[in-house]
Amino acid sequence: MKMIKIFSSILFLTLLLAYGCSDDLGNYDYKELNNVEVTGLPVDTTVGVLEHLVITPVIARELEGREDDLEFTWRIGTSDTISMERNLDYVIETSVPMGKNICYYHVMDKETGVRYYYEFELNVVATFNLGYYVLSEMPDESSLISYLNTNYNENSEWISTSTIGDYTLGNKPCGMAKNANWRYGYELHILTQEGLYPYVKTNVQSFLPTAIINAENYIKGQGTGAFSPTKLISSTNNQYFLTGNGFSVLNSGIMHAPSGITETYDWALCGWWGYRSSAPDEIWGYDKLSNKIYTIYNTPGGPLFDLNSITEAPLGDISFDGYRVMGLSKTETRLAIDLGVVLLDVVAGNTNEIVIHSLNMDREYASWSPIGVYDIQTSQSTILPVAGINAESLCKKYGSNFYITIGQSIYSTPVLNPVLTKIADIPVEYGIPMDFDMTNVGTNPQQLVIATYNEGSSDELKGSVIYLDPQKKQITNMFKGVCGKAVQVITAEK
């Protein structure tokens, strides 16, 4: 009887507890999770330092599409948070490690605390590489290098800098030149009139200084204690700096000053054309004061690299009276140890016409002397009527054509059988051309890269860059407000 009473009590308590549990209606939250799914992130992507990393994820919710209850976090590697926005628009800072990094995107549901984790590979590369470079001067005379990669697209932006590595470029930029280099693609030579180191050499892969030069690089006893160059000429082995009336030569890190030049010159359109690598050949240059073309070379038997001899160029009876020399091109082919062939083209103009002088000369190399002897075989001059030539007009030769700027118009003419043809007009708001370069022959289409300047522009940067297809006579791209007043345009391509 006692055992029956115990079991009855247990049964009663069990039923009572079961009834109490069935009546518990509000102690727990059984709300369904509004799960998040993110797509649209890259698996891997490559971006340069100082370039924009732009990503717009696609976010889907399982129950409802609202996003106001979500929190977003972007990180690169172990760095601090770089953004807490839904979409990423981040300029890659120089502190981000070069090479492969893991980029993290975290999404948190603020109501439930549930986090969703995503990641992708980010490859950070050097900002500067193969591409288009513009050296320009800003209103305060500081130097600016602007760059656009050869693989540019509609989202690409020009990148500008006044530094190479830790070195800040000096004021009053003078020029920029390139040399092909099997290891680095291209070496760039940048020259400013002022600065701690007026000459800086770099390469397009690292964009770090590989050589810096100032007055301390002169041979002891040479130079004047200062180095304020105004023009740069680059050859395969040497660099030539216009310092005063003559040219200093940089060879193997040592600078050689010209000696004994007492005359006054105002050099323009200077070029180097060499025929051997063991010694510098002469420089050809146009002197605006005398309105003549000269050859500048080291005196036979004198110190090597001392460009102290200046002789009027052998042009026969050609005179530039009433004209300004706009273009100068010399092509030299060595046929034998003591004989070569020279093709010389000179473009001169005034307010009413252009004249093109083409000379074919034999060259006899006199022993080791760089100057040798020139013998004119044929000479032809062609006059092309055109109005508007002024001091700002430019002329350069690429391939078998001269390209000439007159105001905001671009013209071309074949070197042989010259005929002047207008290619295009630069839009007024872009200003006038300051310098231009031609892309490589293998580029399709081959284009002129023209830097322009509009003094009256309201843009912070008043210089622009225009791409022009001379074959189709079409402007293919225009980038407004990307540089200062251009000094030099360089194309560095494969």
Quickly state the pLDDT bin for 403 (edges 50, 70, 90). Answer: very high
Q: What percent of the chain has a predicted confidence (pLDDT) above 70?
A: 87
State yes or no: pLDDT of 3 exceeds 50.
Answer: no
The DSSP element (H or E) to which 17 belongs, if any, is: helix 2-22
State yes or no: pLDDT of 150 exceeds 80.
Answer: yes
Residue 494 is predicted with a pLDDT of: 79
State yes or no: pLDDT of 87 exceeds 80.
Answer: yes
The pair of three-digit structure tokens given for residue 48, joined into one six-digit string: 């340069």
Backbone angles phi, psi at 92, to 5 degrees: -65, 115
State yes or no: pLDDT of 120 exceeds 50.
Answer: yes
The partner residues of 116 in beta bridges, in order of sequence, read 107
The partner residues of 431 in beta bridges, in order of sequence, read none
Q: What is the mean pLDDT of residues 117-134?
A: 89
**Nearest in space to 453 (alpha carbons), one of 392, 389, 378:** 392
Q: Report helix, strand or coil for 13.
A: helix
Q: What is the pTM of this model?
A: 0.78
- The domains of the chain, with CATH numbers, are 36-125 (2.60.40.10)
Backbone CA torsion sign across 182, 184, 185, 189:
negative
pLDDT in tens, 357-386: 999 999 887 655 556 788 999 999 999 999
CB-count exposure of residue 170 (10 Å: 0-12, 13-18, 19+)? buried
Q: How far is CA 6 from CA 14, 19, 314, 484, in A?
A: 13, 20, 133, 100
Residue 332 is predicted with a pLDDT of: 85
The DSSP element (H or E) to which 151 belongs, if any, is: none
The DSSP-derived string for 306-372 is ---EEEE---TT---TT-EEEEEEEEEEEEETTEEEEEEEEEEE-SSEEEEEEEEEEEE--TT-SS-
**Nearest in space to 279 (alpha carbons), one of 337, 242, 237, 310:** 237
Quickly state the pLDDT bin for 408 (edges 50, 70, 90). Answer: very high
Exposed e or buried b for every residue in 360-399, given b needs 16+ CB within 10 A?
ebebebeeebbbbebebeeeeebebebeebeeebbbbbbe
Residue 165 is predicted with a pLDDT of: 83
